[in-house]
Amino acid sequence: MKLLIAGGQVVTADGSTDADVLVDDGRVAWVGRVPGADADADRVIDARGKLVMPGAVDMHTHLEAPNNEIREAAIDALTCDDYHDGSIAAIVGGTTTLVDFATQNPGDGLIDSLEQCRAKLAARPLATDIGLHMIVADLGVPGAEAELAALCDEGVTSFKLFMAYKESPLMIDDDTLFRVAQVAAANDAVVVVHAESGDAINVLQRQAVAAGDTAAIWHARTRPPATEAEAVNRAIELCRVAGAALYIMHVSSAEALAVIERAKRGGARVRAETCTHYLYVDESWLERPPEEACKFVFTPPPRSADDREALWDALARGVLDVVSTDHCPYTLEQKRGGAHSFMATPNGVPGVENRLEVMFELGVRGGRLSPSRLVELLCTEPARLYGMHPSKGTLSPGADGDVVIFDPAAERTLSVDSQISTADFCVFEGLRVSGSVDTVVRGGQVVVENREYLADPGLGGFLARQRSAQAFRIGQPTEA
Ligand SMILES: [Zn+2]
């Protein structure tokens, strides 16, 4: 099957060029202009006036994930999109590859935990490929360090550590962080952190609750930016001692950015992301009435408008490397079941389907990012840093035939009414975007047209990733 995408503007991390793309037998065959190519193709898509980009990669989602930070039994424990739902929402929004999480609960073996997660993945028809990070909670189980090394052979080449959520089983101490970093360094794996000072936050939370301060805004007030900056700094320094490559998830504050920028300039092997919602929502949204404010309880919390501007600046200058979604969807019923106290509200928001359109509108239309920087942040860097490049995240010959045709002239309004995720609210409700996903090709097959998934729902599967610590080069300077 030869698919020719003709007449569009091809956008990669290296720049934009008017070119055709031929996808043959599931892979990109060439990018350029070949006379007569249309006569030779089985199907020709007219992409004139449109942007042709690599399928986007979101390496931070939580599908059918247990709610680990809340202890109240009244709340349904899982995020509301299962792997199937999430993969459909992702691909309709232009994201053709996901990396989600397998979770080790304390006492469980790491390989066992991976196998359980892979069994769940195998039970769902997936529209995208899904790789897995391993959430490591307990190095006390026999053979844990050898099993961490073995995970890399299984294609699970990144270890996620929670430095927060003191009352959950997942928060680790510095001993565990450092030992995992040593194992990662020895195996060219990547350490991934949720960086917040879990102990200090827990004290602030208990004091707030004792004082009767349980409104949603206290979710932010008990997690001040310095608690993020402190943990970011600690993770950077401990990984530096261990010689490990470090990736910091969901950076939200100017204080944390300053730590990251200094470390990068000093040669630390650190990369960092922010998530779409931090570029749109700010802390004042938590002061809305409880049934509204509870929607925007996510962690780290939304910050000030100044922090939001600092994040945009960091994306443009290369202090931040990736934009992901941290798609962690709950229904309004789940959210409002915990609206009486910030301590009971499930943490997280949907967004896996919105990232490309929101970032094009706010970033490219907003004059903050070039189209090629957008592709770098959403496609190329996540693929490179997580061992999926060059098959994912680019359109060079030999790459997987995962292509998004994006119509910069198409307008639509983001709303729960047209949302694919089973979450029944939209973070970007009412946001008018100029630029929308037109067609999505996965593995050389047209799978999405007119925001509808058309193909067999079981095309995707578990994606084994390469070891990728080498992608975290030492001393990459940030742009001035
Ligand atoms: Zn997350």
Distance 278 CA to ligand 1 centre (A): 13
Distance 60 CA to ligand 1 centre (A): 6
Place of tokens 């007119």: 450
Distance 221 CA to ligand 1 centre (A): 20
Distance 86 CA to ligand 1 centre (A): 14
Distance 230 CA to ligand 1 centre (A): 19
The mean pLDDT value of the chain amounts to 96
Confidence bin at 467 (pLDDT 50/70/90): very high
Distance 273 CA to ligand 1 centre (A): 11
pLDDT at 52 over 80: yes
Determine how many CB atoms are found less than 10 A away from the CB of residue 398.
11
pLDDT at 127 over 50: yes
Confidence bin at 67 (pLDDT 50/70/90): confident
pLDDT at 474 over 70: no
* Cβ contact 300:282 at 8 Å: no
pLDDT at 478 over 60: no
Percentage with pLDDT > 70 across the chain: 97
pLDDT at 480 over 50: no
Distance 348 CA to ligand 1 centre (A): 8
Question: What gap in Å lies between CA 267 and CA 269, rounded to an integer?
Answer: 6
pLDDT for the residue 70: 63
pLDDT for the residue 66: 86
Distance 361 CA to ligand 1 centre (A): 24
Distance 250 CA to ligand 1 centre (A): 7
Confidence bin at 76 (pLDDT 50/70/90): low
Rounded to the nearest 5 percent, the helix, strand and coil shares of the chain are: 35, 25, 40
pLDDT for the residue 279: 98
3-state secondary structure of 357: helix
Distance 47 CA to ligand 1 centre (A): 35
Determine how many CB atoms are found less than 10 A away from the CB of residue 418.
12
Q: How confident is the model over 131-149, as a mean pLDDT?
A: 97
- DSSP output for 198-261: HHHHHHHHHHHHHTT--STHHHHHTS-HHHHHHHHHHHHHHHHHHT-EEEE-----HHHHHHHH
Query: Is pTM, for the whole model, over 0.95?
Result: yes
